[in-house]
Amino acid sequence: MRTPARWRNIGRMSLDVEHDSVRTLPSEKPIRLLDNAGHAVRGAAAGGFELPELDTLLELYRRMVVARRFDVQVTALTKQGRLATYPSAYGQEACEIGAISAIEAQDWFFPTYRDSIALLTRGIDPGDILQSFRGDWHNGYDQHAHRCASQTTPLATQALHAVGLAHAARLRQDPIVAMTYLGDGATSEGDAHEAFNFAAVWQTPTVFLVQNNQFAISVPVSRQTHAVTLADKAIGYGMPGFHVDGNDVAAMYAVTRAAVGRARSGGGPTLIEGLTYRIESHTNSDDPTRYRSARDVEHWKRRDPIERLEKYLVSEGALTESLRAEMTDAAEAVAAHTRDVMTTEAELDPLELFDHVYARPRATLLEQRARLEAELAEAATHAGAAAPHAGAAR
C-alpha cells in the first residue's frame, strides 16, 4: 500500500511537506458539454472535457430512450399493482446511463434501489431486475454474470462494498474498476464518509457517482449539506471531485469515463456529483405534493436530459428518422417484454426460504422447513388441490 507523500516521514520532517493528494475545488458551476438548448459548450464551463463522438452520443441517446420507456412502463405496471414498489429514475437518465456506459464488461457496478435503468443498460433482463420490486425474492439477477451487486436499500452501505471489491481486484492486479451510485441523501450517512475515505487512503479503483436529484424522499438537499456542492466533499479525502450537470449525458459520460480511466491506471478514486432532478415520486407510495411544487417539477421537466441530447443530435443531422424509429422499436420491445414478464406470475416455492440461509443446512432450519412443508401439504389437501405447494400461488 502506498503512503501518500504528504505524510511520508512526517515525524522526521519539518511541518512543511510535499503531497500528491488532489486539492482542487470542484467547479461551482456544474461541468456541462451540452447546454439545455442542445448547444455544445466549450471552454472553462466544459471543465477541460471533450464532447464525445457522435456515435457515442447516439448510443447514449438510444440507451436513454430505452431506459425511459422501461421506466415509464414499470411505473405504469406498479400503478396496476403488479409491483410492490418501484423507485423511478425518470429525469435522471443522463446520470444513470452516462455513468454506467463509462465502465467495461469486466468492471463492477454497485447500484441502489433507484438504479434499475442502469442495470437494464448493463444488459440484465427486466424480469430479473424487477423480481425484487415485484416481491418475489430480494434479488433476482446473477451478480457474478453481470458484475452487478444487488440493488442496495440500506443507504450508502454498498459504497463500502464497491471499495472492498475494487481493493481486492487491485491486490489481485486485475484491471477492474468498481463504480457505485449514491443519492444526495445517502451522502449524509457515515458509511458514505467511510467509503470515500477507505477508497482514498487505499487508492482503490472506485468511481463514486452521487446522483443529486435534490431530494431524499421529501427532504431537500439543503437539509443534507451546507457545502457549495456535494463534490466538495472530495477535498476532505484528497481525491478529485467533479460537479457535473447531471442532465447532460455527454458531460456525465465524459467525466465518468475519465474517472474510470484514471482508476484503472492506478490513479485512485474519484467523486462525481451529477446535479439532476427526480421527476417522479420517490416510490409509488410517496406523495410529493406534500413537499414540492408542481412548478418546480415543470421547471425540471423543461430540462429533460433526453430532449437536450436529441436537440443536439438533430441539429448535427445524426439522429435520422429511421434511427429514431429503430430506437423507438427497441424501446417498445423492452416495454412489451417487461409487460409480459410482469404480468406472468412467477411460481414461487415457499420451501426455498430455507435453502439459502447457510451453505450447510442447519438442523433447526430443516425442522422448520419440514413443518412448513407439512402445512403446505395440508393446505393443499384442504383446498382439494393436487399441487403440493398451493400456498405459494397468489
Partner 1 sequence: MTATTTEHETPAASAPTQLTMAGALNAALRDAMAADDRVVVYGEDVGPLGGVFRVTDGLQARFGEDRIWDSPLAESGIVGTAIGMAMYGMRPVVEMQFDAFSYPAFEQMVSHVAKMRNRTKGRMTLPMVVRIPCAGAIGGVEHHSDSSEAYWTATPGLTVVMPSNPADAYSMLREAIDSDDPVVFMEPKSRYWSKAPLTLPVTTAPMDRAVVEREGTDVTLLGYGPTVRTALEAADAAEAEGLSIEVVDLRSLSPFDDETVGASVRKTSRAAVIHEAAQFGGYGAEVAARVTERNFHHLAAPVLRVTGFDIPYPSPKLEEHYLPTADRVLAALDTWEWDD
Stretch near ligand TPP under the rule CB under 6 A, chosen from 210-218, 244-252, 334-342, 363-371:
210-218
Where b means 16+ CB within 10 Å and e means fewer, 67-76 reads bbbbbebbbe
CB atoms within 10 A of CB 356: 9
| Residue 113 among the catalytic residues | no
Q: Which of 40, 330, 348, 380 binds partner 1 (CB under 8 A)?
A: 348
Give the cell for residue 360.
Answer: 450447510
Q: Are 284 and 69 in contact (CB under 8 A)?
A: no
Footprint (CB under 5 A) of Mg ion, residues 133-172: none
Q: Which of 90, 109, 208, 300 binds its own copies (CB under 8 A)?
A: 300
Under a CB-based contact definition with an 8 Å cutoff, are residues 348 and 366 in contact?
no
Q: What mask of x and - would describe binding to its own copies in positions 243 to 282, judged by CB under 8 A?
A: --x----------------------x------x-x-----
320 or 343: CB nearest partner 1: 343
The residue count for binding ligand TPP (CB under 6 A) is 14
Q: Which is nearer to ligand TPP, 265 or 285 (CB)?
A: 285
Catalytic residue among 278, 303, 308, 389: 278
Q: If we measure between CA atoms, which residue out of 21, 17, 57, 50 comes closest to residue 33?
A: 50
Q: Strand runs (DSSP E) across the chain, as ranges?
A: 108-110, 178-183, 206-212, 215-216, 219-220, 241-245, 270-275
Per-residue cell: 88: 423511478
Of positions 165, 186, 195, 319, contacts ligand TPP by CB under 6 A: 186
Q: How far is the CB of 188 from ligand TPP (least distance, A)?
A: 8
Confirm or reject binding of residue 359 to partner 1 (CB under 8 A): yes
Which residues between 13 and 72 bind partner 1 (CB under 8 A)? none
Q: How far is 215 from 29, CA to CA, in rounded Å?
A: 20
Contacting residue, 183, 205, 238, 274, with ligand TPP by CB under 6 A:
183
Residue 206 carries which side chain, given as an amino acid letter?
T
Taking the C-alpha atoms of residue 25 and residue 13, their distance in angstroms, rounded to an integer, is 27
Beta carbon nearer to its own copies, 297 or 323: 297
Residue of 392, 166, 339, 390 lying closest to 269 (CA atoms):
166
Binding mask 295-334 for partner 1 (x = CB under 8 A): ----------------------------------------
Of residues 296, 295, 307, the one with CA closest to residue 213: 296
Nearer residue to ligand TPP within complex by CB, 206 or 212: 212
